[in-house]
Chain A
Amino acid sequence: MLKKTTIDKLPELAACLMEKGTLVAPVKEAGGFNFRAITDAAQVDLIFHNTILSPKTVFFPQTEDFVRYSVYQPILEAKPVEPEIRPTFLFGVRPCDVKSFEIMDIHFTRTGVPDPYWRKRRDATIIFGFAFDTSEEADPAEFYHTLGIGAADPDGSDVFMLRRDDVLFLKAVSPRGENLLGGLAGLTDAAPDERKYFDDYIAQGHDYKTRYTCVDAEAIAKEFEAIFHNTDFWTKVSNACLSCGICTFVCPTCYCFDICDETQFGQGVRRRVWDACMFTDFTLEASGHNPRTQVYQRLRQKICHKYSFHIRKYGPISCVGCGRCTRYCPVNIDIFSIVEQAVQAKWYKRM
Chain B
Amino acid sequence: MSRIGVFVCHCGLNIAKTVRVSELAEFAATLPDVVVAKDYKFMCSTPGQEMIANDIKEHRLDRVIVTACSPLMHEQTFRKVLAASGLNQYLLSIVNIREQVSWVTHDIDEGTAKAKALLNGAVRRARLLAPLTSRVIDVNSDVLVVGGGIAGIQAALELANTGKKVYLVEKNSTIGGHMAQFDKTFPTLDCSACILTPKMDSVLQHKNIQLMTSCEVSEVKGFVGNFDITIRQKARYVDHTKCNACLACTEKCPGKGVSEWDEGLVKRKAIYIPFPQAVPQKPVIDRDACTFFKKGKCRLCEKVCEQKAIDFEQQDTFTTVKVGAVIVATGYDLMDTRSLIQYGYGKYPGVYNALEVERLFNSAGPTGGKVTLRDGKEPQAIAILHCIGSRDKNNYEHCSRVCCMYSLKFAHLFKEKTSADVYQFYIDMRAAGKGYEEFYNRIIEEDVKFIRGKGARVAQSADEPDRLVVEAEDTITGKFIKLPVDMVVLSPAIIPRGDAKDVARLFNLSTDKYGFFMERHPKLAPLSTMSEGVFIAGVCQSPKDIPDTVAQAYGAAAEALTIVVKDKLELEATTAMVNPASCCACQNCVRVCPYGAPFFNETKGVSEINEALCKGCGLCASVCPPSAIIARHFTNDQVLAEMEGLLEF
Direct contact of A and B (CB under 8 A): yes
Which residues of A are at the interface with B, using a C-beta cutoff of 8 A? 71-72, 264-266, 288
Q: Are A264 and B644 in contact (CB under 8 A)?
A: yes
Known contacts A71-B32, A72-B32, A266-B32: does B581 contact A288 (CB below 8 Å)?
yes
Give chain A residues whose Cβ lies under 8 Å from the Cβ of B648.
265-266
Give chain A residues whose Cβ lies under 8 Å from the Cβ of B644.
264-265
A52 to B573, CA, bound (A): 52
Smallest Cβ-Cβ distance to A288: which chain B residue = B581
Smallest Cβ-Cβ distance to B580: which chain A residue = A288
Q: With contacts A266-B32, A288-B581 known, what are 6 further pairs, Cβ within 8 A?
A: A71-B32, A72-B32, A264-B644, A265-B644, A265-B648, A266-B648
- Closest Cβ of chain B to A184, distance in Å, is 52
- Closest Cβ of chain B to A294, distance in Å, is 15
A288 to B32, CA, bound (A): 30
Q: What would 8 A/B residue contacts be, using CB atoms closer than 8 Å?
A: A71-B32, A72-B32, A264-B644, A265-B644, A265-B648, A266-B32, A266-B648, A288-B581
Give chain B residues whose Cβ lies under 8 Å from the Cβ of A265.
644, 648
Which residues of B (608-649) have their CB < 8 Å from a CB of A?
Answer: 644, 648
A80 to B648, CA, bound (A): 25
Smallest Cβ-Cβ distance to A70: which chain B residue = B32
- Closest Cβ of chain A to B58, distance in Å, is 24
Give chain A residues whose Cβ lies under 8 Å from the Cβ of B32.
71-72, 266
Q: Can you list, as one digit per residue, whether each of B22-41 has a CB less than 8 Å from chain A (1) or not (0)?
A: 00000000001000000000
A264 to B647, CA, bound (A): 11
A72 to B581, CA, bound (A): 32
A288 to B580, CA, bound (A): 10
A194 to B400, CA, bound (A): 106
Q: Can you list, as one digit per residue, whether each of B177-212 has a CB less than 8 Å from chain A (1) or not (0)?
A: 000000000000000000000000000000000000
Give chain A residues whose Cβ lies under 8 Å from the Cβ of B581.
288
Smallest Cβ-Cβ distance to B648: which chain A residue = A265
Smallest Cβ-Cβ distance to B30: which chain A residue = A72
Give chain B residues whose Cβ lies under 8 Å from the Cβ of A288.
581
Give chain B residues whose Cβ lies under 8 Å from the Cβ of A266.
32, 648
- Closest Cβ of chain B to A290, distance in Å, is 9
Smallest Cβ-Cβ distance to B644: which chain A residue = A265
Smallest Cβ-Cβ distance to A72: which chain B residue = B32
A264 to B32, CA, bound (A): 14
A169 to B581, CA, bound (A): 58
- Closest Cβ of chain B to A292, distance in Å, is 15
A265 to B641, CA, bound (A): 9
- Closest Cβ of chain A to B28, distance in Å, is 14
Smallest Cβ-Cβ distance to A289: which chain B residue = B581
A288 to B628, CA, bound (A): 13
Which residues of B (558-606) have their CB < 8 Å from a CB of A?
Answer: 581
- Closest Cβ of chain A to B347, distance in Å, is 69
Smallest Cβ-Cβ distance to A71: which chain B residue = B32
- Closest Cβ of chain A to B32, distance in Å, is 5
A265 to B643, CA, bound (A): 10
Q: Can you list, as one digit per residue, whether each of B144-176 has a CB less than 8 Å from chain A (1) or not (0)?
A: 000000000000000000000000000000000
A288 to B581, CA, bound (A): 7
Q: Can you list, as one digit per residue, whether each of B390-411 has a CB less than 8 Å from chain A (1) or not (0)?
A: 0000000000000000000000
- Closest Cβ of chain A to B290, distance in Å, is 68
Smallest Cβ-Cβ distance to A290: which chain B residue = B581
- Closest Cβ of chain A to B582, distance in Å, is 10
Q: Can you list, as one digit per residue, whether each of B97-138 has a CB less than 8 Å from chain A (1) or not (0)?
A: 000000000000000000000000000000000000000000
- Closest Cβ of chain A to B580, distance in Å, is 9
- Closest Cβ of chain B to A72, distance in Å, is 5
A266 to B32, CA, bound (A): 9
- Closest Cβ of chain A to B269, distance in Å, is 73
A72 to B644, CA, bound (A): 14
- Closest Cβ of chain A to B121, distance in Å, is 12
